[in-house]
Structure 1
């Protein structure tokens, strides 16, 4: 088995008053120190996170920040800032040093760009901005930035009943997403059992992996499960789904849905099937639970599919996520 990415317990921190700035900076510094960053590298993280948090507090209508180990590289720190707010009409102008206007989230973006090891911004005027950035210690490798996933529990729950796991082998990426039935600890237990079963059988064909998960979830409340294998060299995705997990091949001009059969993994299912799809160049393979509605239109987000997978996932979580259910979204950019 190649590189492994698991769902983490993503802790989203609201950034709506000044007290959040210090809390976010301390969280980022602590994580950087744990990851072995030296004083200079840790300082870069502290400055960039403080600037991003300050912008959220000053200008966002609703702002959140996520600070976590980078899902593709344990030694890196990933930061995602998401807001509903004024947005920016000209991101390139906002990235110039010294640019400042009270109507945008542009203050400090030039400095953030210099401090981060990698970053991308996607902004829509009147709707908001998503800033994704990551940090690595000087001389350390950078993450490939081919895949990212986000989870968010319903309301004030502390556990999420949705989970995902990813394996990477060369240019092939295999993703499993499970939406445990309902929410809370019992749903989370079902989803984590699906992760465990996936890891046991990940080398098999997607439909066979799905069959093993379906059989193995019988002692849990079950859930909706999808398995997708993206072959970057061949430009294809093999997909098998059971239940209400949405799966898409997304490109600048629209999206193509992938077929999931009705049922509940662990309890009832029709004959499971695997489908093969072509993945056009410059596309993203996207999976999400029904914690996101399907009423999103990729053409409403110009340029989004070319951004970091974390920015793609974060934008759709903001735009289509519902607070009435756990939510999970995974974005994969095929790699050769």
Structure 2
């Protein structure tokens, strides 16, 4: 499955993970086994594989007991020094009125012992959660083999159109000589050829010299001319200058959400990277400390409103991206969301 990567990862890595639809105990067991296999492949020590097994079993089991339309994304996460496993559990269930109380051992809404959620938090190296009554819950957890790294400043998530196993949407994040840059790419069409176009854009982006977004977009346009082409956009977060620099070709949406509740869209130019383009233009937008930059493909609609999700924009990029994908993503297209927070 195509997905995202960051500049510190091994060259060529495009680990979008595997999605599971969790509706029965058998699927929950499959999630646990897949997590164990992935951890073993990554060389995690036995004790952390065992911890991950508990996390995966409890997270997937909670979806079976409590959730509607529960899904789990399982994927590898890497830094320059170690590899771990991330699990994101997403549901449209009843949600939680009191998240802190729900996390305590002994609290249950299904007649069980109520120890599952507490076990997840104890075994995970890092976790984050957002839940709204009547809308559902998103839980993101990571299990690392050793000391957990600092939480990431940016994270993304992709999902293929129903019926496909790979997504034509992809994303990447890099810090190129102090330039914190984001890429979202939507390969034309669906399936393997769309994924090939998007993945080529990601590889070129991660190798490209440090340059402003418009220059990077020009280099991507040239690099993917042998593919079917793509819509793509590059954003650069310059916290010192208080600016987002943004350049794009085609139907990629970018929005800056200010900590004061303001919302400002960013402009991409018409065209198809690799085939058709007018002049690539770069635009600057204000970026306040703590602001959120959110980019997505046209498989995600813009109708969601942060006001309907109290506290969401204060959560981790992983949880924000997964929540937006759940409620604004369409199953009739590949969908991808990338979220970054300014420092």
**Per the shorter chain, which TM-score range?**
over 0.9
C-alpha contact 1:82 1:130 (8 A) present in aligned 2? yes
Match of 1:194 among 179, 201, 208: 201
What are the residue-to-residue correspondences of 1:252-263 with 2, within 5 Å?
Answer: 252=259, 253-263=261-271
Aligned to 1:149: 156
Per-residue Cα deviation, 1:104-144 (whole angstroms, up to 9, x for no partner): 9x862222111111111101111110000111124x34243
C-alpha contact 1:254 1:298 (8 A) present in aligned 2? no
Return closer, same or farther for 1:202/1:174 CA change in 2, 3 Å cut-off: farther
Question: Do structure 1's residue 51 and structure 2's residue 52 form an aligned pair?
Answer: no
Return closer, same or farther for 1:136/1:71 CA change in 2, 3 Å cut-off: closer
Match of 2:97 among 89, 94, 98: 89
Question: Do structure 1's residue 206 and structure 2's residue 194 form an aligned pair?
Answer: no
- Aligned equivalents of 1:207 and 1:142: distance in 2? 32
What are the residue-to-residue correspondences of 1:1-336 with 2, within 5 Å?
Answer: 3-4=8-9, 7-70=14-77, 72=79, 74-102=82-110, 108-138=116-146, 140-169=147-176, 172-252=179-259, 253-335=261-343
Q: CA deviation at 1:79?
A: 0.9
Q: CA deviation at 1:69?
A: 1.1
C-alpha contact 2:17 2:76 (8 A) present in aligned 1? no
C-alpha contact 1:171 1:233 (8 A) present in aligned 2? no
Q: CA deviation at 1:171?
A: 6.0
C-alpha contact 2:16 2:75 (8 A) present in aligned 1? no
Unmatched segments (≥5 aa) in structure 1: none
- Aligned equivalents of 1:153 and 1:16: distance in 2? 19
Give the RMSD, CA atoms, in angstroms: 2.2
Which deviates more, 20-29 or 250-259?
A: 250-259
Which deviates more, 36-45 or 147-156?
A: 36-45
Return closer, same or farther for 1:103/1:261 CA change in 2, 3 Å cut-off: farther
Return closer, same or farther for 1:2/1:56 CA change in 2, 3 Å cut-off: closer
Paired residue secondary structure (2:227):
coil
Per-residue Cα deviation, 1:282-327 (whole angstroms, up to 9, x for no partner): 2221110001011111111111112111111100000100001001
Q: CA deviation at 1:40?
A: 2.1
Q: CA deviation at 1:164?
A: 1.4
- Aligned equivalents of 2:217 and 2:177: distance in 1? 22
- Aligned equivalents of 2:209 and 2:137: distance in 1? 36
Paired residue secondary structure (1:84):
coil
- Aligned equivalents of 2:18 and 2:209: distance in 1? 27
Q: TM-score, normalised by structure 2?
A: 0.90
- Aligned equivalents of 1:103 and 1:283: distance in 2? 41
Per-residue Cα deviation, 1:36-56 (whole angstroms, up to 9, x for no partner): 332222221111111111110
Paired residue secondary structure (2:91):
strand
Dislocated runs of 4+, deviation >3 Å: 4-7, 71-74, 169-172, 232-235
